Structures are given as structure tokens and as C-alpha cells.
Copies of this chain bind each other. A is one copy, B any other.
Amino acid sequence: TLRVTWDLDKAEKSGYEHFMLKEIYEQPKAIQDTMASRISQEQVDLSQEISLSSQVIQQIDKVQFVACGTAYHAGLVGKYVFEDLTRIPVEVDIASEYRYRNPIITERTLVIVISQSGETADTLAALREAKKAGATVLAITNVVGSSVAREADQVLITWAGPEIAVASTKAYTSQLIAIYLLGTYFAQMRGTCTVEDAKQIVSELTRLPQRVEAILEQSAKIKDFAAQIVNHEHLFFLGRGLDYAVALEGSLKLKEISYIHSEAYAAGELKHGTLALIEEGIPVISLATQRAVYEKMVSNIQEVKARGAYLLGLTVEGDQELQKSVDAVLHLPETLDILSPVLAVVPLQLVAYYACVARGFDVDKPRNLAKSVTVE
């Protein structure tokens, strides 16, 4: 007799070993779905969802991104994106800090709260604080009907689908897409980018799903790299500008599931302290995707290399230089510098995933952590 055995658990994971891996591989679709209905005639059109008049958008004189954990790291990318595209000054704040520090808020302040679940306690409290002080609050969340979505003045949903793994992946990249859409939309309304600039961003945005696919196809190489770090208890991430924001997120992923004590540093700060910790064999993951600071970054990479660090370098397709200074290099598909975080984070998610599996820990349910932090 033939016995057909079903693995119900694995069926829910569509054949993937873990929800986290499944969600990493769902990113092309999540990104695509988050963009789909919001691009029209090569421009961003959010007018069906965001009911802020052109005049109100013109009058905003400060943006505050407020969030926790991974969503906070999306906010750090948001600062670069919004300041670059809209020239509105941006602050980024940890929700549990923001709500207690008597932040300066006026009626011309736009507060953008980010929460995958829409139920993060500190983020919700910050939202209420900001509304009370007269700000306009816009929420980026993955859950329609969540508390954050209900209480915010404006909502932009990320269409990432349910995220089950504690370590957030597709929610983060979808949050980034929401930020790019919003930044470009505001820039169009404020006239701070030309129609041509907006077209270029939109055109590159729509190519991101296939580019994420191309990175996922390099997973064997990333797994090999992860195998090199599994016996280490310390690890550093380095980057400048947007790469620093991504480094922080890569470090958090590794920390939360593999329990390797990793820390991300703005590469220029190395010499002001952390360089003391770099010794023979310490793994350092270095991002060098930002063309404007590429030379500076290579020089920081050579500094840690000279102290014996074991280096993985991330750079852009076509760069033949970085491999001379690192032990392993990974080339990311070409895109605009400003969009690079969506691509650069993917190998870092995979490094964390493979390191966790190799170390034998529970990928989807790391110790001490809950999926959404609904208590303070």
C-alpha cells in the first residue's frame, strides 16, 4: 500500500522550512503588491488613499518618523529619502523615547508612525501623543483595521500579507516601498523633483521585484558566508549613509535569531572607539552600495582588514575593486543609490537565517521575543 504523509506544518509554509524563509522569498511579491495600485502613468498617485491636499502637503515643515525595532530602521531610511526628495527636515525617533521626551510638535508637523502589526504599544501611545499636540499623523502598517490604522489621520497599507516569523523581513521591505512612494508623491506635490526624476524613481521601483529575485538566486553563496560566522560570538556591520541604516537592520536580524552579539556602526565612527574591538578573525559585514561615499567606505574596510577582520563586502554589480579588500564579496543588482536598501537588506536577512539554522536555534520563535510588542 502507498502511504501519503502530509506535513500540515510545512504545507502552511508552502514547502519552506520556516516562516522566515518563506517570508524572505515572498518579498518580490510583497514589494510588487505594495506598489501596484499606486503607480499610474509613470508617476506616484496616492490620491485615492491619502486625503492631504496639495496645500497641506506644501505647508508641512517637519516630518517625524516614530517607530520601534525594525520599523524604526525603516524610519531611518525614511529620513534620507524624505530629506533628499522633499527637502523637508526629518527627525526619526524610537517610540518609547519620543512619547516621554516632550517632543516639539506643531500643526505643520507630519508624524509618520510605522508598525507592521499596527498594535505596537509604544507606537500607538506616540501616535496619540502626536495627535493631541496637533500634528497630522500618517500610519504605515500591514494590518487593515489595526489600532494604529484606525487612529491615524491617514493610512498607507503595506500589502505584504500576514507576517508570522518574529524576525520581520517582508514587512520591512514593504515599509521601505511605502516610504519611497510617499516621498516621491510629496516631492511631486511640492515640486522638489522634476517629472523626469519622478519617472526615473518609479521606473526603478518597478524593477525592484525582479532584482530581489536575482539576489535570492545567490542564496547558496550567502549560505556559505553564513557558515563562516556561526562559531563567532561577536560580529560588526559597517556602512555609511543609507548603508548604515541597512547595517542596523541587518545587525538586529542576526541578533534576534542567531544570538550572535552583532553591532552596526557608522563606518566613520569606527576610529572613535569600536576599532578597539576588531581583532583577528572577527567577522565584519561591510556595505558599500552608496556611490558618493564609496571611496571612504573602502578605506574603512581596509582599516578593519588590516586588523585581521574576516570581511564580507556588499557592493554593486560591475564593481571589481571591493573584492581586493574583502574575503567574500556579494554583488547587488544595479539600482538608484536611494533605493539600494531594499536590495542590500536581503542578503543580510539570509545571513541571519542561515546562521540561526546552523546554530540550531528556533528561527521563527526566538527566545524572549514576541511578534508584536503590545505591552510597554
Contact = CB atoms under 8 A, between A and B. Distances in A.
B233 A373 contact: no
A178 interface: no
Nearest to A306: B368
Contact of A369 (B84, B240, B273): B273
Q: How many protomers of this protein does the assembly include? A: 2
A368 B276 contact: yes
Nearest to A274: B255
A278 interface: yes
B80 A104 contact: no
Interface string A230-271: 000110000011001000000010011101010100111101
A367 interface: yes
B102 A83 contact: yes
A276 B369 contact: yes
Given A269-B68, A366-B276, A293 B100 contact: yes
A119 to B, nearest CB: 13
Given A89-B104, A240-B100, A368-B307, A261 B273 contact: no
Interface in A41-87: 62, 68-70, 72, 80, 83-84, 87
B256 A273 contact: yes
Interface string A349-371: 00000000000000000111110
Given A261-B234, A261-B261, A275-B369, A269 B102 contact: no
Given A100-B293, A233-B234, A275-B369, 7 more contacts: A69-B269, A96-B267, A100-B241, A255-B273, A261-B263, A273-B369, A275-B368
6 contacts: A68-B268, A94-B269, A96-B269, A257-B276, A259-B276, A276-B366
Interface of A: 62, 68-70, 72, 80, 83-84, 87-89, 91, 94-97, 100-104, 122, 233-234, 240-241, 244, 252, 255-257, 259, 261, 263, 266-269, 271-278, 292-293, 296, 299, 307, 366-370, 373, 375-376
